[in-house]
Structure 1
Amino acid sequence: MFSRVEQLAWEKEKLSNFACLSAESRGRKKAEADCDIRTIFQHDRDRIIHSKAFRRLKHKTQVFIAPEGDHYRTRLTHTLEVSQIARTIARALKLNEDLVEAIALGHDLGHTPFGHAGEAALTEITGEEFKHNLQSLRVVDLIEKRSSGSRGLNLSIEVRDGIVNHTGDTKPLTLEGQIVRIADRVAYINHDIDDALRAGIIDASDLPQDAISILGSTHSERIDVMVRDLINSSWQQEEIKRSAEIKTATEKLRSFLFQNVYIGSEGKSEEGKAKRLLKLLYDFFIEHLDYIPDEYLEFEKNHKQAVIDYIAGMTDRYAINLGQKYFIPTPWFDKNR
């Protein structure tokens, strides 16, 4: 058996001096006995994968709401693509692949139903910007329950830091967290282009050709160029970075997506309905708190926050089903017909 102690020794011998070694983790908020097989980051990864919040990602929107097709990305497939890209980079740079994987798998656990439309709806409801990265941390710290019944997954400091700082103004503490931060962008820029092409919202000729000439004309070529550039630019460095040329070309593609896909495109036509639905559900549950599962109320005295937590955790189809249940009249049939 390859024990945890042997794995710690392997990391110390094989990984880069810039890697976050499992043996040097800052630990958990609540001290626990170490597993004799898994390192702390492997243990975190397993807790995330076995969580209910992770399973619900398969029915949460990535970009397109309720698309008619089996091959569009969901929040779960996005998460897996981020994990794959980030692990490739970490392995090449001799950084801690287990830490990268745990952060990547947990980074979007707080995303709302209906993607960023859901975020916008909750922002309008509360008057404060809803940030999915903060909600992801809330999920692993408070909302998710372990099989033992304890509240929160009690993840390591490093994984929690990588999750909350995968977006926003604060850079993650570890290089592994920095990898996930960039891998997230590499993944969604490329798979959102792929989905938009599949949906017929854009044509390949619409893409900014100066960026395409640098990054490549196919999905796989672009990811390969971006990943290789990041590895070459970050090798034996104290930060994860990209070359100026690749970064500029990547940002051109991202800007193109905002202008032609994310805002006002045919693929976003259902967002208004999605936002109205979530607002209706919020108002309904504020008036009917007894309809909310006890697990959302037992730790949160602020009932408004409990409702937000409940709605944010919903899948698209669950929210739609509740809308039909609470707001659409149920047909009544004459038994004497």
Structure 2
Amino acid sequence: MNMREEWEKVEDVVLSNYAAKNILSKGREKSEKKCDIRTEFQRDRDRIIHSKAFRRLKHKTQVFISPEGDHYRTRLTHTLEVAQIARTISRALRLNEDLTEAIALGHDLGHTPFGHAGEKALDKIASFGFKHREQSLRVVDILENGTGLNLTWEVRDGILNHSGDIKPQTLEGQVVHLSDRIAYINHDIEDAQRAGILSESQLPTDCVKLLGDNKRKRIDNMIHNIIMNSYGKDCVIMSEDVSFATHNLRNFLFETVYFGHEAKIEGEKTENVISFLYDYYMKNLDSDMEMQFKLTGLEGRERSVVDYIAGMTDRYAMNLFSRLFIPDPWRVY
């Protein structure tokens, strides 16, 4: 018996009956020889961490575009906070931590540059619309390395359904779905406070009273609530009152921070950048765009253009915009 097989036996004993177990995985689209050390979900986690798309997250906006301060979140730090919260919940519920972590680390791989504003702009421009959760699945299925990562069905399901109305079919995916909200609600409040556009006193009073008056308390209360209401059950849920307060706090952030007055001003600039790049590449090719077109050109030029723009970091998109549309100064000697 190899090390992987030993661990699969441990899972059968230690994990909840509702946990996703490696030995019962629905597998990969392309069959592969199994590793004698790592389980299938461990391999998926490792493939995501070593991907270029994962590294690009460090230069993609979470909320604030190109912030000057050193302590604002990026899409990468958000991802790591989601993974930490999700693993805590999964361990308490005796679920599969490796699967949970893989889904958490891969859930935002398809996010656009410029955060919410970038996604909104690309969704408006693309004729077929744009959802980052769908793009994240494209990254791991097709775009990364030109062939995709060939991940297991369970990880792919969790990535695709980490947001939206359709629940992931594994409890581990459901954990990530809730952990994503816990993370961005609380760290975005903290970043907005640091930016001076939000104070604790502005938060909805009923939400603060129930969830807590600071980030630590809110995260702790949300995590405890999920564990207490989900332990030994075939679903991962919050109590009705905590779920309602969390939903209201999320709506408050969308109204005041994500699409508030300050964000609208920057969002218009973001839309211009993405719109100009979209129009340019619908008519022109450069060496990078040619590579993208070779990969997904059979799906149409627009699909390739959207994939290319969505994969950009903030600074790459801005530098490209500057190079294409801002004239260089004349050098007279």
After superposition, where does 1:12-27 map in structure 2 within 5 Å?
Answer: 12-27=12-27
d(CA) in 1 for partners of 2:317 and 2:255?
28
1:183 match: 179
The reply to whether residue 57 of structure 1 matches residue 53 of structure 2 is no
The reply to whether residue 314 of structure 1 matches residue 312 of structure 2 is yes
Deviates more, 1:8-17 or 1:299-308: 299-308
The reply to whether residue 257 of structure 1 matches residue 271 of structure 2 is no
Please report the TM-score for the alignment, with normalisation by the length of structure 2: 0.96
C-alpha displacement of 1:254: 1.2
2:225 to 217, 223, 229: 229
State the secondary structure of the residue aligned to 1:116.
Answer: helix
Give, as a single letter, the amino acid of the residue that structure 2 aligns with 1:49: I
Give, as a single letter, the amino acid of the residue that structure 2 aligns with 1:48: I
1:161 match: 157
C-alpha displacement of 1:265: 3.1
C-alpha displacement of 1:268: 4.7
The share of aligned pairs that are identical, in percent, is 58
Whether the aligned pair in 1 keeps the contact of 2:110 and 2:139 (CA below 8 Å) is yes
1:195 to 191, 196, 202: 191
d(CA) in 1 for partners of 2:192 and 2:329?
38
Whether the aligned pair in 1 keeps the contact of 2:116 and 2:258 (CA below 8 Å) is no
C-alpha displacement of 1:129: 2.5
2:274 match: 278
Deviates more, 1:242-251 or 1:28-37: 242-251
Kindly provide the CA deviation profile for residues 240-259 of structure 1, in whole angstroms up to 9, marking residues without a partner as x: 00111211121221122122
Structure 2 segments unaligned to the other structure (5+ residues): none
2:3 match: 3
Give, as a single letter, the amino acid of the residue that structure 2 aligns with 1:296: Q
The reply to whether residue 96 of structure 1 matches residue 92 of structure 2 is no
2:114 match: 114
Whether the aligned pair in 1 keeps the contact of 2:2 and 2:36 (CA below 8 Å) is no
d(CA) in 1 for partners of 2:13 and 2:158?
24
Kindly provide the CA deviation profile for residues 115-173 of structure 1, in whole angstroms up to 9, marking residues without a partner as x: 1211122122223331000000000000001xxxx611000000000000111221111
d(CA) in 2 for partners of 1:235 and 1:190?
24
d(CA) in 1 for partners of 2:213 and 2:5?
46
1:132 match: 132
C-alpha displacement of 1:294: 4.1
Kindly provide the CA deviation profile for residues 8-27 of structure 1, in whole angstroms up to 9, marking residues without a partner as x: 11111110111000111010
Whether the aligned pair in 2 keeps the contact of 1:65 and 1:267 (CA below 8 Å) is no
2:30 match: 30
Change (3 A) 1:20 1:39: same
d(CA) in 1 for partners of 2:129 and 2:322?
28
Kindly provide the CA deviation profile for residues 284-303 of structure 1, in whole angstroms up to 9, marking residues without a partner as x: 11221234344312231211
Give, as a single letter, the amino acid of the residue that structure 1 aligns with 2:238: R
d(CA) in 2 for partners of 1:172 and 1:40?
18
1:328 match: 326
After superposition, where does 1:73-92 map in structure 2 within 5 Å?
Answer: 73-92=73-92
1:303 to 301, 304, 313: 301
d(CA) in 2 for partners of 1:268 and 1:10?
52
C-alpha displacement of 1:64: 1.2
C-alpha displacement of 1:262: 1.6
Structure 1 segments unaligned to the other structure (5+ residues): none
Whether the aligned pair in 2 keeps the contact of 1:141 and 1:154 (CA below 8 Å) is yes
Whether the aligned pair in 2 keeps the contact of 1:3 and 1:38 (CA below 8 Å) is yes
d(CA) in 1 for partners of 2:218 and 2:46?
31
Count of residue correspondences: 331
d(CA) in 2 for partners of 1:318 and 1:257?
28
Give, as a single letter, the amino acid of the residue that structure 1 aligns with 2:197: I
Whether the aligned pair in 1 keeps the contact of 2:254 and 2:260 (CA below 8 Å) is no
C-alpha displacement of 1:68: 1.8
Give, as a single letter, the amino acid of the residue that structure 1 aligns with 2:111: H
Whether the aligned pair in 2 keeps the contact of 1:65 and 1:268 (CA below 8 Å) is no
1:152 match: 148
Please report the TM-score for the alignment, with normalisation by the length of structure 1: 0.95
d(CA) in 1 for partners of 2:111 and 2:92?
30
